[in-house]
Chains A and B, each alone.
Chain A
């Protein structure tokens, strides 16, 4: 029998090699990508000798593993590197983007988990009913359409045609910060992202619920005289939620990926947009910092999912 604390500690130690592996892979991949890291923003009239001197000064001529260890060594001092392009420390560049990403992802996670689970419960109370079939079809359709298309469609209709919402960004240029202005900017991207995620959560939770509803203990619960709603919520959901939370943990990278696409489409100034821009600009240090942060959050998210699972299912905690 393991205590929850010990379990978490174990998981944290399991995360370290994954982080190491991801960092090496991204580092190598970026290094072997074609194009000189300085090519994008240096004066093309520089002579090869001058270019070499610049590279030398930045440490770009050192062997790959030295460059890598320098970078990792910096990590331990909270130093993610130096963005040559931006002339600023990487951690600073990323940190200022994190609140925007957290705002967008957080809002849509809260909305999509609650709405998705609620709809799944409604479906499971009367499975294969007209409403259930409609929801199943709608969410299937929702998942079949690429996120960027939904985003562009939303911009076309609600910003372009109806002019209800701004086309993108997080605030109106030249205007003082106001909460209402932020909400107006947040509405479309978070709605599109929520819609996509609702479709996913609905389908996970519904299929998990329907599976649980065939279990014997559900018949026992009905035989007590509980209403179907109570049976689904108290006995079905509680059992279906645990595996759904794990799935959520596994799906986290694709959730983050989906959010990045939406960020780009709506020019939302978050980490996703930064990552794509840095990729175009070959701003390696920033790109790697973004990858590392994303991996870190994915792992932490998976860990949180496991902890929630343990809290939901006594068999994990007590050991069956």
Chain B
């Protein structure tokens, strides 16, 4: 089970406005193997959601995937580059919801208020499978039961506003699973949900993933929840991956000053209420300010003068399978001058 399902290479997604270009995602690469989970973490606004949306060509206007490759291995072994597909074209629409599904941060607003839950699940099923309404409805009921919704035969005819946040997110998950996707992108699936339910939802995702041997991209700004959920992790900062590798390596030995700072800010079990979590100094710079050098340098206490503020570091392999974008771990000349 270690064949690569999705290979993202140097993904770039920018928003084009008349006066500015916002580089929301600017060079993200990773391999995701079948049945594995990768976590994308970073503060709000660092480009996690846009990375997820880029994989489905769902970036809203005026954003556009403008560089890199998004290679997906289909069931028939063909490999297609989603980055090259027309965002409104037929090809990518066949992938959405069928090969790759996505669930979103806000279960409150992610379901259409004028249609019942069942209606919305059945719509997806019937879009990708030629089956009768009755059959699709049975499938929807069993999906709702699978995600732990009690009395699924009744809930299926309810509207989203009649359900709690946790139930809505379960319904979203059921909808995402309806066509047996091989990859699920979960964008902060628990952020907007009551804390007491968060663990249940994560548990459910883990369980379903193992049962269905599905790959998953778990997006979160909470480093605390990814450790048990993911195999690999990507730490993003201002549209770039600043550190990535096996989750154990990154947790045990964080390299990038930003990752270290993030780790320090995780609340730990047994923390005294009064212990104040260290906060990363400074704030995220304006994404369209013309920052030179390393993006994190203005907030970094290890910044090297006249290096970090002039040149941009590239991603280097500091340890085997553990990558970091920081001059503290050397400088790969070849990246600067080309092969």
Contact = CB atoms under 8 A, between A and B. Distances in A.
Decide whether A and B assemble into one complex. yes
Interface of B: 53, 56, 58, 60-61, 88, 93-98, 101-102, 104, 106, 109-115, 120, 123-124, 127-128, 159, 161-162, 172, 175
14 contacts: A217-B109, A219-B58, A219-B104, A219-B110, A220-B120, A223-B101, A223-B102, A224-B97, A224-B124, A225-B94, A225-B127, A239-B113, A315-B113, A318-B162
Contact of B93 (A127, A227, A314): A227
A54 interface: no
Interface of A: 127-128, 215-217, 219-228, 234-235, 238-239, 242, 312-315, 318, 320
Given A215-B109, A217-B112, A217-B113, 20 more contacts: A127-B61, A216-B104, A216-B106, A217-B110, A219-B53, A219-B60, A219-B104, A220-B120, A222-B96, A223-B97, A224-B124, A225-B96, A225-B124, A225-B127, A226-B93, A227-B93, A238-B112, A313-B113, A320-B113, A320-B162
Contact of B112 (A225, A235, A312, A318): A235
B161 A224 contact: no
Nearest to B125: A224
A27 B307 CA distance: 85
Contacts of A227: 88, 93
Contact of A225 (B97, B106, B120): B97
Contacts of B88: 227-228
Nearest to B128: A225
Contacts, number: 78
A216 B113 CA distance: 11
A262 B159 CA distance: 45
A246 to B, nearest CB: 15
Contacts of B96: 222-225
A72 B114 CA distance: 44
A225 B98 contact: yes
Contacts of B56: 223
Nearest to B88: A228
Given A223-B101, A225-B97, A318-B162, A216 B123 contact: no
A220 B114 contact: no
Given A314-B159, A318-B159, A223 B58 contact: yes
